[in-house]
Chain A
């Protein structure tokens, strides 16, 4: 069964360092998302991406964050200068169609746990 894959599963970094989290969405999906979950808190939307550009972003997604689809398969989230409060599980998700469509089901990866020291 097709799945969303994420790497690394866990990354530990020092405050101020740059981090890149990688995702391979399901191959025929067109819409890509990043969510995050701080330990013990709700899953929060960060950004959505379609047709090689950001379609929506939350207030969390400030200038420290960026996303890219560098080739036909990968989708990356970059955090330029990590802060302690960036420690969280970051989830990549994809959907075949826009979420307003009848088949707008979200499929999530296993997540990348980021620990900022």
Chain B
């Protein structure tokens, strides 16, 4: 059964720093991986979707990489801003299952 973990659980950084959020999954047989942002009490906003055949995707200041063989993905945020403060979730779509979510990384960017 697929398990998804995210490290760190929480992160606090000063504005302007570049940062990396990590996602690990136990079974490399996946169709794709999706990163989401969740603001407190709100829904999930899709950030990036990486297909299993891709190595990375970029959108603005965000870059997500995927190393399927080692069961890892990273979300890189460049030049962080206070508005980036949120919980970041990764979710993998394993073969034969629906999306499995990680517990999230709670990010605080301090002005």
Interface residues of A (CB under 8 A from B): 6, 33, 41-45, 48, 56, 58, 89, 91, 93, 99-100, 102, 104-111, 113
Contacts and interface: CB of A to CB of B under 8 A. Distances in A.
Given A105-B46, A107-B46, A43 B89 contact: yes
Contacts of A105: 34, 46, 49
B51 A106 contact: no
A14 to B, nearest CB: 23
25 contacts: A33-B98, A42-B101, A42-B103, A42-B104, A43-B91, A44-B101, A45-B97, A45-B98, A45-B99, A45-B100, A48-B98, A56-B97, A56-B98, A99-B32, A99-B98, A99-B99, A104-B31, A104-B93, A105-B34, A106-B91, A106-B99, A108-B43, A108-B44, A109-B43, A110-B42
Nearest to B4: A42
A102 B103 CA distance: 25
Interface size class of B (residues with CB under 8 A): 20 to 34
A58 B43 CA distance: 21
A102 B52 CA distance: 9
A93 B95 CA distance: 19
A41 B42 CA distance: 14
B98 A108 contact: no
A90 to B, nearest CB: 11
A108 B46 contact: yes
A27 to B, nearest CB: 17
Contacts of B101: 42-44
Interface string B41-70: 111111001010000000000000000000
Contacts of B76: none
Contacts of A56: 97-98
- 4 shortest interchain CB distances as A-B pairs: A110-B43, A108-B44, A43-B101, A45-B98
B100 to A, nearest CB: 8
